[in-house]
Amino acid sequence: MIVRMNTGGIAMTNCFLIADEAAKEAVLFDAPDHTTRPLLDEAVRRGWDVTGLWLTHGHFDHFADHSAVRERFPRAKVLIHALDEPKARQPDVQTRLFGLPLVIAPLEADAHLTDKQKLRIGSFEVVVLHTPGHSPGHVVFHFPKEQILVGGDLIIGGSIGRTDLPDSDHRQMELSIRKVMELPGETRLLGGHGPETTLEQEGQENPFVREVCREQG
């Protein structure tokens, strides 16, 4: 497995390219504005077929570059949870809300993600976990054997995703954090913002996660 990350865009959002080098297959996770090109260039150089753009949720900074992905890899399937697709279909609502100097093409998903759905990147199994709170259709992507979690804006290195947005729900966020923290502590967390961490580290050092887990106990 090869994991590449690039960070950029207005919100300094992380984008991940995960590949099965033997199978020459890769998937892009999230597509922040002005951020995907270096990863797509690497995929082309290495002869990888980018078969998908899998989105953790529908906030603008996680899908703004989707058209750039489809231009380079027209057969890449764009996947998002059904509850978050409306935001991606109408990006102008977000650009007006946040006063953004961006023009984002509306996104039409090829299929919808569901809780406990199993996907594959070459030989790697990926399990989708529905983790609402930051947004209704937020999901994370778990690689059980490789112990990797592409976490979006659930737990983001010392903090958690916002729950003051129009369709956020803090109570659901707490339940989602507890759900993810049941995974092995050594799981590498590739968050939507900030550096890579582990679930164990977040459980020990992240005050928001500690508080949520303490309330559960």
Residue-wise pLDDT tens digits, 184-208 = 999 999 999 999 999 999 999 999 9
Given a cut of 80, whether residue 215 has pLDDT beyond it is no
Is 131 within 8 Å of 176 (Cβ atoms)?
Answer: yes
Residue 68: phi and psi, rounded to 5, are -65, -35
| 189, two tokens | 């967390």
- pLDDT tens-digit map of 19-44: 999 999 999 999 999 999 999 999 99
Given a cut of 80, whether residue 59 has pLDDT beyond it is yes
Is 144 within 8 Å of 125 (Cβ atoms)?
Answer: yes
- pLDDT tens-digit map of 93-141: 888 887 888 889 999 999 999 999 999 999 999 999 999 999 999 999 9
pLDDT value, residue 99: 82
Domains in the chain: boundaries? 2-216
Cα–Cα distance, 30 to 152 (Å, whole number) = 8
What does DSSP say about strands 77-81 and 49-54: parallel, antiparallel, or unpaired? Answer: parallel
Cα–Cα distance, 114 to 132 (Å, whole number) = 12
pLDDT value, residue 75: 95
Nearest to 15 by CA among 3, 1, 29: 29
Instruction: Look at domain 2-216 and name its CATH class.
Output: alpha beta
| 144, two tokens | 């059980």
Could you identify the residue written with the tokens 């270096």? 38
Cα–Cα distance, 217 to 208 (Å, whole number) = 15
Alpha-carbon dihedral sign for residues 86, 89, 93, 97 = positive
What does DSSP say about strands 49-54 and 118-121: parallel, antiparallel, or unpaired? Answer: unpaired
H helix and E strand count, the chain: 8, 12
The secondary structure of residue 160, as a DSSP letter, is B
